[in-house]
A and B are shown apart, each in its own frame.
Chain A
Amino acid sequence: GDSVTQMEGPVTLSEEAFLTINCTYTATGYPSLFWYVQYPGEGLQLLLKATKADDKGSNKGFEATYRKETTSFHLEKGSVQVSDSAVYFCALSNTGGFKTIFGAGTRLFVKA
C-alpha cells in the first residue's frame, strides 16, 4: 500500500542554518504531496503542497519539489529561525483525493 518515509529526528540547528528534511514515498497512481507543520500544543496545519510531478510548493521560506523519478518531496529552508521549531510531517493523498497518509514526523529544534 501507499506509504511515506521521512528522516528521523530530532534535528537540531542553529538559527540561520540551512534545513533539509528528507521525505520519500511509495504510491500507485499520481498522489498529491504535502508538508504539514505542528507547533507545540496545536493541531497540524498545511505548510505547502504539490499536486503533480516537478511542481514546487513554497510557503514562509520553505520549499519542496515533487520528484517523481526519485519518489521524493524533501523540505528545505535556507535560513531557519527559532520560531520554526516544530514537528514536520510529510504526507500524500491518493489519486481519489480522499485519504491522506502521513510520515512519522520530524521534530526540529532551532537554537538562538
Chain B
Amino acid sequence: DADVTQTPRNRITKTGKRIMLECSQTKGHDRMYWYRQDPGLGLRLIYYSFDVKDINKGEISDGYSVSRQAQAKFSLSLESAIPNQTALYFCATSDSAGGSLAGGPGANVLTFGAGSRLTVL
C-alpha cells in the first residue's frame, strides 16, 4: 500500500456541488498538506496542519476547507465547486523531526500522494 493514499483519484462534478477529497497516511508524520497543481503554476499550498488541533491557511485557501480527523487523515472540501477549481490536487506529509526550529536550516521533505484530478463542469 502507498504511504499516502488519496481518494478519489479522479472526479468529475458540476458547478455548485460539494466535493470532498480524502487523504490518509501510514508514515506516522505529524504534518499534512494540501496542494493544488495547475499547468505552468507549479504547486500552490491550500492548507496545512501540524497536528490534529492545528490548521493553517495557505496561499490559496478561499473556496476550500479542511478537516484533520486524526493524525493520519486530512480531508479537503469544496463547499460549492466552481470551474476554476478544476485542477490536480495533492496531499503531502512531512515529519517535524526533519526540520530544525532552533538555529540552522531544516529539511522539510514532503511525501506526496498520487493526486486527485478534479474536473468541475
Contacts and interface: CB of A to CB of B under 8 A. Distances in A.
Interface residues of B, number: 31
A4 B41 CA distance: 11
Contacts of B121: none
Give the bracket for the number of chain A residues in contact with chain B. Answer: 20 to 34
Interface string B83-118: 000000010101010111100111111101111000
Interface in B66-95: 90, 92, 94
Interface string A10-46: 0000000000000000000111101010000111111
Contacts of B34: none
A89 B31 contact: no
29 contacts: A29-B105, A31-B105, A32-B108, A43-B90, A43-B92, A43-B112, A43-B113, A43-B115, A49-B109, A52-B104, A52-B105, A89-B42, A95-B105, A95-B106, A96-B99, A97-B98, A97-B100, A97-B105, A97-B108, A98-B50, A98-B96, A99-B45, A99-B48, A99-B108, A100-B45, A100-B108, A102-B35, A104-B40, A105-B42
Interface of B: 4, 31, 35, 40-45, 48, 50, 58, 90, 92, 94, 96, 98-101, 104-110, 112-115
Interface of A: 4, 29-32, 34, 36, 41-46, 49, 51-52, 89, 93, 95-100, 102-105
